[in-house]
Amino acid sequence: MAIAVRMAQTTWEGPLASGTGTVRMGSGATGELPVTWAARTERADGKTSPEELAAAAYSACYAMALALRLGEHKAVPERLAITATVTLDQAGGGPTIVSSHLDVTARVPGLGKTAFDTVVGEASDLCPVSRLFAGAKVTVDATLEPAP
């Protein structure tokens, strides 16, 4: 049995270059999100894109994986800030997600840099979205902030 099954639906009208669409999350958490080709490849102008949605999924997934691994190491994060950057480029004859980069900033009292780096690697291996990007170059820069 699956751990979770979620869905999203996109409705598109018109040709690629001038058409418009909306994405609706099955949970209803966001309402309708507008999408266009121009927003995907030029300027967002308040619209989203598959790459932005993938980045959102990746940052949320990684934050959860990192929190889990920190807990297993008896470390409680005060704050985790994860920024995911997903890059669409030409590769193999067509548009392809070629890379995903994570910037991780964490405040975890009592955790040293060496232990933090170990946990960051474990979280990268654990996060299911990391595995989704298996064909892309995936990188992580992680900073451990000192506790106040």
Identify the bridge partners of residue 33 per DSSP, sorted by sequence position. Answer: 23
- The whole-number average pLDDT for the span 77-87 is 96
pLDDT interval class at 136 (50, 70, 90)? confident
Other CB atoms within 10 A of residue 131 CB:
12
Using the predicted structure, report yes or no on whether residue 147 has a pLDDT greater than 80. no
More confident site: 148 or 15: 15
**Could you tell me if 47 and 31 are in contact, meaning their C-beta atoms sit under 8 angstroms apart?**
no
Mean of pLDDT over the chain? 94
**Could you tell me if 66 and 82 are in contact, meaning their C-beta atoms sit under 8 angstroms apart?**
yes
